Every structure is written in structure tokens, then in C-alpha cells.
Chain A
Amino acid sequence: AQRVTQPEKLLSVFKGAPVELKCNYSYSGSPELFWYVQYSRQRLQLLLRHISRESIKGFTADLNKGETSFHLKKPFAQEEDSAMYYCALSLNTGGFKTIFGAGTRLFVKA
């Protein structure tokens, strides 16, 4: 079965420290993975997608098919990074379906 696992519900780091939000997936097909972010009182929005191989707001994520992981990283966390982060896997099962992990709340302390 397809699944996205984010093992940490809450991650708390100090400003300027590196941050890594973990994501593992289970899917027998070719995965298409995303990170979404929900800032306080804002709508859920796309942060980055693995096929773009881009860096957004200093965040990067690399797809590791061997470890079935797509961890989100940032070398120096900022207070404005505090938010809820969701890892997501998009499938085409005769119609597009995106399934989300349980989310990790990142709290960056001053």
C-alpha cells in the first residue's frame, strides 16, 4: 500500500541551527514527491517538488530511492520557518491522488 511517513510530530530547533524534516514513502511505482507548508493562519501551499530539484526559501530535498526517503533540509533555520510541513506522494491510479504524511510541526526558537 502507498504510504507517507513523517516520524516526527514536532521538531524544535534554535535559530541558525540546521534542520532536517524526515519523510519516508512506500510506493512500488515511480514516485513523485512534494513538500507542502502551512504557516500559521495561511493556506497549505507547495514548497517544493522533487522533479524541480530547486531550493525554495533555503530548503532542499533529495529523493533517495534506495532509502525511499525525501527528507527536507535547511542549513540555517529562521524563525519565519516555523510552520507545519507535510510530505506528499502523488500517484496516478486512473486519476491523480496525492497522499500526505501526518505532518511535522517545526518550531524555530530565537
Chain B
Amino acid sequence: DTAVSQTPKYLVTQMGNDKSIKCEQNLGHDTMYWYKQDSKKFLKIMFSYNNKELIINETVPNRFSPKSPDKAHLNLHINSLELGDSAVYFCASSQSAEGGGKLFFGSGTQLSVL
């Protein structure tokens, strides 16, 4: 029973392509996030959604478009992929009533842009 699951686990693609990463949580949480972990293992927040509504957008290029069809899902679509997009992308969720800092993470999607 995986709490936060994201697919695919690995994604290898060419520059200029468009790709999507999906995330689902079965914890009943109301807030979901996308984080990017670069090659130096630095974790940076990209987006936060609360009850399907975009709450935080951390000056991410508009080639990245998150979509939340319902509060249990948060997908990330990336257009015109660039070399610098290569990273591990983590989905996470939390319950705002608990203060938001107690995050549950997915296992990550390793994106490699060639």
C-alpha cells in the first residue's frame, strides 16, 4: 500500500520532447507538491497545490505545467525538455491541518534529458 506513488520511476528522453510525470496519494491529504532534486542532491520546491488549487509556484519556467484533477493526484507536464531539466523529481503530500511540514514523499522520478 504505497502512500505516495509516482510514475514513471525513470524517464530518458531527447531534448525538445514533451513528457509527463504522474503522482497519486492515498493518504487523504489535501496538499501536494513537486520538488526537484539536482545532481548535488539539493531539494527545491517547485509547486504546491491545496485542494486542487495552485498555492505556490516557485518561479519555475512555464514549460512546467502542473495539473491537479483532484486532491489525490498531481501531475507534472514538461514541454520542450532541456538538458538542465535532468534531475530527480519528487512528489510529496501533507495535511494542512498538521501544519504542512510533515511531508510524505514519493520514490522519485529520475529524468534524463539527452
Report A-chain residues with C-beta under 8 Å of the C-beta of B33.
98
Q: In this complex, what residue of A is CB-closest to B35? A: A100
Q: Judging by beta carbons under 8 Å apart, are A90 and B105 in contact?
A: no
Q: Does chain B have a CB within 8 A of A97?
A: yes
CA distance in complex: A86, B105 (Å): 13
Q: Does chain A have a CB within 8 A of B106?
A: yes
Chain A window 38-69, contacts with chain B (Cβ cutoff 8 Å), 1 for yes, 0 for no: 00001111100100000000000000000000
Interface residues of A in 64-110 (CB under 8 A from B): 84, 86, 88-90, 92-100, 102-103, 105
Interface residues of A in 23-49 (CB under 8 A from B): 32, 34, 36, 42-46, 49
Q: Judging by beta carbons under 8 Å apart, are A32 and B99 in contact?
A: yes
Q: Judging by beta carbons under 8 Å apart, are B40 and A96 in contact?
A: no
Instruction: State the main secondary structure of chain B at its contact with A.
Output: strand
Q: Does chain A have a CB within 8 A of B84?
A: no
Interface size on A, residues (CB 8 A): 26
Interface size on B, residues (CB 8 A): 27
Report B-chain residues with C-beta under 8 Å of the C-beta of A45.
105
CB distance from A45 to the nearest CB of B (A): 7
CA distance in complex: A99, B56 (Å): 12
Q: Judging by beta carbons under 8 Å apart, are B56 and A97 in contact?
A: yes
CB distance from B114 to the nearest CB of A (A): 24
A-B contact pairs, 19 of them (CB 8 A): A42-B107, A43-B90, A43-B107, A43-B108, A44-B43, A44-B90, A46-B103, A46-B104, A84-B41, A88-B101, A92-B100, A94-B55, A96-B50, A96-B100, A97-B56, A99-B45, A100-B35, A102-B40, A103-B42
Q: Which residues of A contact B (CB under 8 A)?
A: 32, 34, 36, 42-46, 49, 84, 86, 88-90, 92-100, 102-103, 105
